[in-house]
Amino acid sequence: MPVKLDYHRKLISAEEAAGLVKSGMWIDYGAICGFPSLIDEKLAARAKELKNVKIRAEHSHTIIPRTDPTQQHFIHNSWFLGKVEREYAKHGATSYIPFGLGEGPRMYRQWLKDKVDITFIEVTPMDNKGNFNFGAAVTRQKAACEVAKVVVLEVNEHMPWVFGGYDEAVNIKDVDHIVENHEYKIPEFPAAVITKEDKAIAALLAEQIEDGATIQLGVGAIPSVVGKLLIKHNLKDLGIHSEMLNDSMMELIEAGVVTGKRKNLNKSKAVFCFAAGSEKLYKFMNKNHTLAGFPVDYTNDPYTIAKNDKQIAINSALRVDLRGQVCSESVGTRQISGTGGQLEFTRGAYLSRGGKSFICLHASREQGGKQISNIVSTLELGDMVTVPAADVSYVVTEYGMVNLKSLSVWQRAKALISIAHPAFRDDLTKAAIKAGFITKGTIGLGWG
């Protein structure tokens, strides 16, 4: 059947798409910018008709938990909590799914292959060969389409068409229904507010990046500042191999700092699996031959990451304890975000020839009108360990940078105390001695 006829045969309204959902079903949303805004709205309107509908989403802008905060009708689950879902989780309306981001496609093809009733995914308009592109969210979308009993695409003209490596598109023959979304653009992610601490940390990081390095920048203000500083430092021929593409990376490409010429893998291509940023970024991405969108099991595979020499991984943390354990995703039992790809890129960059991995955090934060140290003697009860102590290399605060590799616990404790906020260093030292991290014979020694 000609693809245009097939398209019109499968075209339904958003209300009809939401009407496919029955009580007790498992529904999977597209990740991040693959979030189906219009269908979500129509499904939320059906709340009172449904019971125990279970939804899996990721960094989504869903309104469903807001319309059903007591979960009488919908059970919302998230692979990674963004700003919207974080508020729902605070009130018990969202549950976290622990996993490493690179596992996404395998999660569907192996563990969820019989457990997805419907998948709703935002895509580009169809091309003349019947293909829909996943655009700003290649991630795990193709795998979800392969296993879902029913595949529904929400077409959005604002979704950029991203040239890819593989699994960046799905063909109409593998799609059950199509919805046209003319009401919502794809989600934008405002730039984080930049502080003086961010600038200080970014300056330390920029000094560690050499010409020809390949970079991964995580979420938050620090990576954004790093991108701007790399332009000022006149670095040459940087490459990008990252899970996320953001506005600062776009600026690096536009400035000619990123060329990818020295990459070992996907030379001259900026590789990523999803984008999160401004409308300008999404327009920049559309049919841009300098970019390559891959599924996340490729971008986040540590052994793939390591194939590029001088791979740099820059990620943020909430707290680091004196043995070097990193918590980047929860405050006690309260989930803030997710593991994401932090551990995968930490390991991949370390395996790369000349590579470096950095964990960045502010030395302290304000909480309840008090200043609290983010370098802590031990993690709080309930904190999730995102990066184990054995995997951590560089830790950076606005007070300095230390490399924990090869250091024993007493050395690690002293090194981390040296980059803690000065107001907390004495108390941290006392706590380290009490815990036995700093032993009797090492009290008076330096850590280097």
Rounded to the nearest 10°, the torsion over CA 178, 180, 185, 187 is -20
What single letter denotes the amino acid at residue 420? Answer: A
Distance CA 79, CA 91 (A): 17
Contact residues for 223 (Cβ-Cβ < 8 A; gap 6+): 217, 246, 248, 314, 316
Kindly report the CA angle at 56 between 50 and 59, in degrees rounded to 5?
125
- Please measure the distance between the N-terminal and C-terminal CA atoms of the chain and give it in whole angstroms: 71
66-70 CB contacts, 8 Å cutoff, 24+ apart = 66/93, 68/44, 68/93, 69/93
Contact of 386 with 341, CB cutoff 8 Å = no
**How far lies 187's CA from each of 34, 37, 153, 275, 398, in Å?**
9, 9, 16, 10, 32
Residue the block writes with tokens 């090869």: 406
* Separation between Cα atoms, residue 75 and residue 136, nearest integer Å: 26
36 φ, ψ (degrees, to nearest 5) = -85, 85
Separation between Cα atoms, residue 40 and residue 36, nearest integer Å: 6
CA–chain centroid gap for 351, Å, is 21
Residue 105's closest CA among 179, 31, 161? 31
Residue 51 CB contacts under 8 Å (≥ 6 apart), including other chains: 23, 24, 72, 73
Copy the structure tokens of residue 368. 């309840």
CA 42, chain centre distance (Å): 27
Nearest-angstrom CA–CA distance, 210 and 207: 8
- Annotated active-site residue 243? The verdict is yes
Per-residue tokens: 413? 């404790």
- Measure the CA–CA gap between 383 and 380, rounded to whole angstroms: 5
Cα maximum dimension of the chain: 80
Bridge partners of 275? Answer: 245
Annotated catalytic residue, options 243, 251, 344, 398: 243
Catalytic sites, residue numbers: 243
